[in-house]
Structure formats: structure tokens, C-alpha cells
Amino acid sequence: MKSLKYLWLIASALSIISCRQTTENKDSQLLVDNFGGEMEGKEVQLFTIKNDHGLTAMITNYGGRVVGLWVPDKDGKQTDVVLGFNRAEDYKKSTEPYYGATIGRVGNRIAKGAFTLDGEDYHIFTNNGQNALHGGKKGFQDVIWEADQTSDSSLVLTYRSPDGEENFPGNLDVKVVFTVTKQNGLRFDYEATTDKRTPVNLTNHAFFNLNGEGSGTINNHLLQINAGAFTPVDSTLIPLGQEQPVKNTPFDFTTATTIGSRVNTEDDEQLRHGDGYDHNFVLTKGNDYGRAARVVGDKSGIIMTIYTDQPGLQFYGGNFMQGDNTLKNGVPDDYRTAIALETQHFPDAVNQPSFPSIILEPGEVYKTASEYIFSVQK
């Protein structure tokens, strides 16, 4: 009996260790059993999906968030490249509400939180100065999704956004499939249907540092974006309605360039508006599925290549991070220590007829896909 007891203790210890993920810097306190709890009468859960090539993602049904993403670096060391928190309640109280989250109904900004559709005026909560951002006061990042882990490598989350939620029209049924692929990528497949015409623009808001969570500045990462133009914005970060060529501007990432090499250009009005990069890039691949961007971690050698069928990519350089939140590995989320690269339709598209439409019709299926593929530079 004693030997059985010892075996049980050893097995329990190994089980706990297997749930603990480590980052490049300090031990994470991310324990599966301690992560969740109950919110709004529903269970918050944490799921692990992985492949056989060393890529592991942990995703929670609270906000459809990527909590961590572990990939091997140039030396084969597992590195967590997505910023996140140890407990669901830490996301709830964070000063940055979008860490790793699924964003909707409408990602990015709506000017003054207002739009007109079929002759009716709609007003969305203005949570970003005078504008609505990422779905309003309670976007998809703040709801509990239904979850179904269909395999070791795939997780399906579903949510019904009722008619009138955040003042958007129509019942919207949303499905997001997270898959860790054989190509060593994390793929997002989005689907949605509605019973009334409604705007939809879904994306994921993972914050990346390819040197590892909490490893310092991302300004030395190399970034290449397949975009010959971007959409310039006003002082509130609402697009002016036209495209501007990136050539001879700090927004030219058509060849690989370090993120920080031109970010502090004092005489560039667009950089002043965003306190750095917080702009939508017009992808040159058109609406077909293709390569949107490539990022290289300067210390880790980790390469992230983004593929999407979306027309735009929002590049946010961590300009508003202030070290107010403590990450999984105990390090604060300091200024410009992560980037977001959100595949999307253009900001404020619901008010800008020259932009690709984001209106979903009843009987149609909103369907998009994006994949973040990882490799290493030796």
C-alpha cells in the first residue's frame, strides 16, 4: 500500500508540473486548475492544443483568448511568445482589456460610436475617447464562450450575440475554430450568421514578443508587411477615407525593417496621432488568402509569418503599455514590449463607403481565416 501511495504522489506531482508552462525569463504560474472559476454563472475554462512539432497554445473560453503560445527558439528552447495572465480574473481587472482576445462584433474603431444602416441610426458605447473600439463597452473579449475541444490540436468556441447587444442589430451566431496546424501555425477560422443586416469584423488581439513574454522591447524585431499603402488617420485614429502609399514614409515595411528604426520620427504627423504605430495597412495580396507579414525576434531567431484572406492588417506597436499589469512570468507589461498584428477589414468601414464592406446579410455566412506560422532563423 505504501508503494501505491508513493506512486500516486509522484503521479500527482508530475501532473502539476505538466500543467506549469515556463517562459524564457521566469517560471509561469499558469496552472490549469487554478486559472478559471465562475463568471456570470458560467465556468471559465482553460484548454491546451498542440502539435508534434513543439507548438503549444493555451486558450480560455473567457473572451476567446490566447493565454500563451509556446514555440521553440533557434536553440530549441520553448518560448512563450504571447503575453497573458495567470488567472481569468487578472484579465477582468487589467487596464488593457484585449490581451489575446477574440474581438467583435466589430474590430477596431467606429467613429463617434455611430453608424446608419437601412435608414436607422445606431449608437455604440464610446470606450476610446469619442469613438467605439472593438465592439463597445462589452465586446466579445468579455463574454464566456461555449467550448468544444474536438481534438488535441483543435478547439471550437461559439457564442450567440443577441439582437441589440451593445446596440448592434440582429442575432449574431459566431464560431471560432483555433487549430494548431502541421505547418507549425496557430490558425483562426471565423464564421458568423445573422438574422438582420449587421456589421461584422472579427479578429484576434494577441500581443506578441518573439523573444518571449516579458523579455523587453520589441523595437529590435524585424518586420515586413506586404502592403504598398496604409489608411492615414485623424488625431482620434479614425481613417480619413483614403489610402496613402507607404513609399518614402516611416510606414514602408515592404522590406524587412526594425520596428523602432523610424518610430520616433517627430516630424511625422501620423506617428504623432498614434504615439507610434497604430495603423491599418492595405495588404497587396488583395482579398485572396496569402502572406500578410513576417516578423523575426532579434534574440530568439523565432520567425512568425502571417497568412490571411482579409484586406487589412492593423499594426499596433505597444505605444500605450505602461507597466500597470503583471504578466504570467511576473514581469510588468512595459512600454512597447509587445506588438499586435490584427488581420481585419478596415477601421470605421461601416461609415466609409470607399472601404470594403463589413455588412453581413441574412442568409450569408461570414467566413474568414488567418494563420500565424512559426519557424526559426538559425
Question: Which sequence positions are flagged as catalytic?
Answer: 205, 342
Measure CA 51 to chain center.
Answer: 21
Distance between CA 86 and CA 94 in Å, rounded?
12
CA angle 81, 86, 89 (to 5 degrees): 125
**Dihedral in degrees, nearest 10, Cα atoms 346, 339, 27, 45:** -10
Distance between CA 352 and CA 232 in Å, rounded?
13
Cβ–Cβ < 8 Å for 219, 263: yes
Distance between CA 83 and CA 30 in Å, rounded?
12
Distance between CA 19 and CA 48 in Å, rounded?
9
In angstroms, what CA-CA distances link 120 with 47, 116, 252, 273? Answer: 41, 5, 40, 32
Sign for the CA dihedral angle at 136, 142, 147, 152 comes to positive
Distance between CA 161 and CA 172 in Å, rounded?
5
CA angle 298, 300, 303 (to 5 degrees): 75
DSSP three-state, residue 149: strand
